[in-house]
Structure 1
Amino acid sequence: MTAVVPPPRPATATLLPVRQLSRFEDGERLHSLLWQAGAGWRMISSAVLGGGVGERAWVLNAQVSHGYRRHDPDRHLAELARQAGAEGAGVGLMTAADVRAYGHGADEGVVAVATAGLGVRGWAAAAPEALAAPSRPGTINIVVALPVAMTDAALVNAVATATEAKVQALLDMGYDCSGTPTDAVCVAARTPVDGEEVHAFAGPRSLWGARLARAVHRAVRGAAPALR
């Protein structure tokens, strides 16, 4: 039987390289960020395309029009990814923000990229009347990559830690909110390989959770304009 050789672990500096893309759509020039991670990644995401937990090979963060009215965003994102050369299963995120103004954060092996549109923001536990109003475009998208493998429970914990770090960054910058109604997150960890540790914790006081939190905090601060 031929042994299966896992893909080499990427160096930290190249863990989350994003490629900037542009396109014309309905007479408007729009932009995207594409991370072609390749094989060997498990991701957890709240994304409209490729959400949940599973093996994923790429992440696309696509800018759309402020008047976006399509009712098939998953299909739209899949089309954009295919046009960009992404193959296999992946994660697709959307935002009305200009993704070229993304923020980047890194901390001891963890890398995060964030884009931020803050035209609509508020608190998660909003009054019922606030939920009745239609949501205008405004999204914070966060993508994080860790160079280690994690259990499913740790991946869920990582999403919570990333969200806490996002809120902390917003408060530190003077925003009186927990985010926007359409925020999304994607956390990528390496696929478990025999003989390597699979980490069971990603809370903010765990080794990798703390690093993730600091990386996300820096990325969100880099993407969100400071209040004057």
Structure 2
Amino acid sequence: MPAAIPSPRPATALLRVRQHTRAEDGERLHSLLWRAGAGWRMISSAVLGGGIGERSWVLNAQVSHGYRRTDPDRHLAELARAAGADGPGVGLMTAADVRAYGHTCDGGVEAVATAGLGVRGWAASPAEGTAVAARPGTINILVALPVALTDAALVNAVATATEAKVQALLAAGYDCSGTPTDAVCVAARSPCAGAEAHAFAGPRSLWGARVARAVHGAVGTAARTGRP
């Protein structure tokens, strides 16, 4: 029998997102913006600001289910500027209503997740892959840690968050590992001179365990709230 997951703890002020609304092609669409400010290193699979580097904001933008633009990075940059975000940042995209997000804190780690689960399945599939991007549906995960991580630990944190996402989906009753367009962003403090950068973020490490529980809670809440 699987071990019980501790109840989510109340969110703190580390990852405070603001909601924005816009009109686009006759629809009212929403987005979540986290103004992280200076002093953050992020790793992300996002179409805008992906990779590893200094970033100061994260935008999770809802788009229409029939999204057809072929320049999502430019579109996200335009939306970020319109919301008042300056400098380098991360832009995520989803067809889900981002107002139905989950937000969980565990031991100083916070996670925010949105879940569009209309198109879902298992990662290992016999279907042939395609070079064309899938339509946005998407589980988007944002995690913030109050400590610095090495590059290797940032990669490890992405793996930990992904494992926790799958665990949360199964616990919520979904027979899948995610959607074809899931994205993740992990933000950690920039290393300070003489300060330690943590080298591990696997699920049994101190900070990785907190990442896993926070993501599990946030994805579980978003999956239940946004259930089709």
Q: CA deviation at 1:196?
A: 1.8
User: For residues 64 and 120 of structure 1, do their structure 2 counterparts lie closer, same or farther at Cα, with a shift above 3 Å needed?
Assistant: same
d(CA) in 2 for partners of 1:37, 1:121: 31
* Contact 1:120–1:135 under 8 Å retained in 2: no
The Cα offsets for residues 37-90 of structure 1, whole Å up to 9 and x where unpaired, read as 000000000000000000000000000000000000000000000011101000
Corresponding residue of 1:145 = 144
d(CA) in 1 for partners of 2:46, 2:139: 12
Corresponding residue of 1:192 = 191
The Cα offsets for residues 139-172 of structure 1, whole Å up to 9 and x where unpaired, read as 0000000000000000000000000000000011
Aligned residue pairs: how many?
217
Corresponding residue of 2:68 = 69
Corresponding residue of 1:114 = 113
User: For residues 80 and 136 of structure 1, do their structure 2 counterparts lie closer, same or farther at Cα, with a shift above 3 Å needed?
Assistant: closer
d(CA) in 2 for partners of 1:92, 1:61: 6
Matches within 5 A, 1:65-104: 65-104=64-103
* Contact 2:93–2:136 under 8 Å retained in 1: no
d(CA) in 1 for partners of 2:132, 2:99: 29
Output the amino acid matched with 1:52: G
Output the amino acid matched with 2:105: A
d(CA) in 2 for partners of 1:41, 1:97: 27
Of 62-71 and 120-129, the range deviating more from structure 2 = 120-129
Corresponding residue of 2:218 = 219
Displaced runs of 4 or more, over 4 A: 129-134
d(CA) in 2 for partners of 1:29, 1:123: 31
Matches within 5 A, 1:173-192: 173-192=172-191
Corresponding residue of 1:42 = 41
Of 36-45 and 125-134, the range deviating more from structure 2 = 125-134
Corresponding residue of 1:3 = none
Q: Secondary structure at the match of 1:218?
A: helix
d(CA) in 2 for partners of 1:181, 1:217: 19
Matches within 5 A, 1:4-83: 13-83=12-82
Q: CA deviation at 1:216?
A: 0.2
Q: CA deviation at 1:27?
A: 0.8
* Contact 1:119–1:137 under 8 Å retained in 2: no
Q: Secondary structure at the match of 2:145?
A: strand
The percent identity for this pair of structures is: 80
d(CA) in 1 for partners of 2:75, 2:135: 19
Q: Secondary structure at the match of 1:164?
A: helix
User: For residues 174 and 24 of structure 1, do their structure 2 counterparts lie closer, same or farther at Cα, with a shift above 3 Å needed?
Assistant: same
d(CA) in 1 for partners of 2:136, 2:59: 18
Q: Secondary structure at the match of 1:199?
A: coil
d(CA) in 1 for partners of 2:131, 2:48: 25
Output the amino acid matched with 2:96: A
Q: CA deviation at 1:102?
A: 0.2
* Contact 2:109–2:146 under 8 Å retained in 1: yes
Output the amino acid matched with 1:140: I
Q: CA deviation at 1:128?
A: 2.3
Q: CA deviation at 1:136?
A: 4.2
Output the amino acid matched with 2:37: G
